[in-house]
Amino acid sequence: MGLTVKLSNSKLILIILSILCVVMIGATTVKDELLSPVRTAFGYFLEPVQSGVNRVGRSLYNNIKDREKLKTALEDNRKLEARINELLMENTRLEEDRFELDRLRALYELDRKYGQYRMVGARVIAKDAGGWFQVFRIDKGSADGIRADMNVMAGGGLVGIVTDVGANYATVRSIIDDVSRVSGMGMQSGDTCIVSGDLKLYEQGELKLSDITDTADIKEGDKIVTSTVSSKYLPGILIGYVKEIRTDPARLTRSGTLIPAADFGTLQEVLVVLDLKSEMHEKPTGAEAGISAGTVSGADEASAGGAGEEAGTGEDPGPADASESGAEDAAGSAGGAGDSAASAGSGASETAAAAEETAAAREDRREDTSSEARNEGRGADTAPEAREEGRGADTSPEARDEGRETEERVREPERPEPLEVRADEPAGNGEAAPSEEPFAEIVREDTQAAPETEPAEMVESPPAAP
């Protein structure tokens, strides 16, 4: 027996294995995909066991359920017949409404996009049994086209994100997990916030809502959707509804709680969105160079130290051809019909005008928009539907200066849209200016204090000045 050999030097083995573990922990913390072949190999073997056991458990549970249901079946049947009649009438009415809805939906960009995502259904086969982690495993993997970082939905709301994929399984981390951080925004206003999981709050069925700026228009009952600035989550997926909001002790930001749209307690089937956010702006365009230019000039401004005009001139050597193209884009679409990009560009130019009041506010806003440009700009002029993402590029400092010149032209076709509110808002009052800086600080500190969050997740938080 091989065991007898091990018996003699068991402590040695223990120590060797311990060291192996520590090395593996270190290696996979730095580079997670190192051991993914091992995981996949084990997955081949483990997945059938898991789904088999899961099937047994499910059928047992369903049998019990079915028996209960039989008892009430007759009564239910009578009720349901009546309900069918009711629904038939309602159905005819709703069909009429549907045509109207289609028209309205065409107007509503977010919803239209929402319907465009390709999805695949999957069954939850395993969950964490303990209370610490909110991760689960689904029975579809890379063989079904699932890849890491895909968004997972259920019941019309965001559930989580795929963290690890094998050939025939995938692991999903729920947004209610304690390390989860999703960048969200108010559906009406477009003001950004951070939705993070919190074990303590989840006991009451809630998520944590934080990093809402002082002036943001997010109030109780608002729908929170995934933000356009998120690096992993597709825009416009419903996360939940704001339950309560209060001002933080520092009075610079607000935070609160959110009730998730998806029901995590009874999760059995989920939908995996096959579109990846990282591929939504895959094509490298000229705007990408503009992004870096934008960030660099943003840094210059920060060092320029409040002198608004100086910052304005310091910006001039900065522009790459890309940001020029961004400006052209803004001007061109401004000339055209009321495109969303056009209104965004003009909204920015309006803020540019408003911001002349205070130099500080101006500098601050520029940082803000340049960081936005970094996130969003990649999508600019790749496809017509990516216009909305292109907003960031349009508001890059150069584009804004251009935009100010074309302000008169632009203002006419423009229609008040939520986007405008958003662009306006940081510059709206001068007092808001200093509030942005500590806010950025807070976010950065938070991500540093949490080494557990994966590096990519950190990007979720609105990037501060470089």
Partner 1 sequence: MRRLAANIAFLILAFAVQNCIFPFIPFLSAAPNLVLIMTFSYGFIYGPEEGSIYGFIAGLLMDLFYSSGAFGFFALFFMWIGYMNGRLSRYYYENFITLPLLLCTVNEFLYNSYVWVTRFFIRGKTDIVFYFLNIILPEIIISLLFTLLIYRFFLWYNRKLEDLDRRKAVG
Applying CB under 8 A, the residues found at the interface with partner 1 are 1-3, 6-7, 10, 13-14, 17-18, 20-25, 27-29, 32, 34-35, 39, 42-43, 46, 49-54, 56-58, 61, 124-133, 135-137, 163-164, 171, 173, 178-179, 199-200, 203, 265-266, 268, 449-452, 454
Minimum CB–partner distance for residue 453 and partner 1 (Å): 8
For partner 1, which is the closer residue by CB, 118 or 200? 200
For partner 1, which is the closer residue by CB, 137 or 391? 137
Structure tokens given for 245:
């909001």
Minimum CB–partner distance for residue 406 and partner 1 (Å): 48
Minimum CB–partner distance for residue 196 and partner 1 (Å): 11
Contact (Cβ atoms closer than 8 angstroms) between residue 413 and residue 195: no
Q: Which of 150, 422, 412 is nearest to 279 (CA)?
A: 150
Contact (Cβ atoms closer than 8 angstroms) between residue 390 and residue 327: no
Task: Report the C-alpha gap between 126 and 268 in whole angstroms.
Answer: 10
Minimum CB–partner distance for residue 11 and partner 1 (Å): 8
Q: How far is CA 456 from the centre of its chain?
A: 12
Minimum CB–partner distance for residue 133 and partner 1 (Å): 6
For partner 1, which is the closer residue by CB, 72 or 91? 72
For partner 1, which is the closer residue by CB, 50 or 231? 50
Minimum CB–partner distance for residue 127 and partner 1 (Å): 4
For partner 1, which is the closer residue by CB, 32 or 407? 32
Structure tokens given for 190:
């477009």
For partner 1, which is the closer residue by CB, 163 or 231? 163
For partner 1, which is the closer residue by CB, 65 or 83? 65
For partner 1, which is the closer residue by CB, 267 or 393? 267
Q: Which of 310, 248, 291, 307 is nearest to 435 (CA)?
A: 248
Structure tokens given for 193:
């916030």
Within 10 A of 170 (CB to CB), how many other CB atoms are there? 26
For partner 1, which is the closer residue by CB, 46 or 307? 46
For partner 1, which is the closer residue by CB, 28 or 188? 28
Task: Report the C-alpha gap between 150 and 187 in whole angstroms.
Answer: 22
Minimum CB–partner distance for residue 6 and partner 1 (Å): 6
Q: Which of 276, 234, 271, 275 is nearest to 120 (CA)?
A: 271
Minimum CB–partner distance for residue 246 and partner 1 (Å): 19
Minimum CB–partner distance for residue 230 and partner 1 (Å): 20
The residue type of 132 is W
Kind and range of the H or E element at 103?
helix 73-107
Task: Report the C-alpha gap between 167 and 169 in whole angstroms.
Answer: 6
Minimum CB–partner distance for residue 442 and partner 1 (Å): 13
The residue type of 174 is S
Q: 3-state DSSP call for residue 379?
A: helix
Contact (Cβ atoms closer than 8 angstroms) between residue 261 and residue 241: yes
Q: 3-state DSSP call for residue 171?
A: strand
- Residue 313's alpha-carbon distances to 112, 309, 396, 434, in angstroms, are 41, 6, 15, 22
Contact (Cβ atoms closer than 8 angstroms) between residue 175 and residue 260: yes
Residue 193 neighbours by CB under 8 Å, 6+ apart: 183, 184, 185, 186, 209, 210, 211, 212, 216, 218, 224
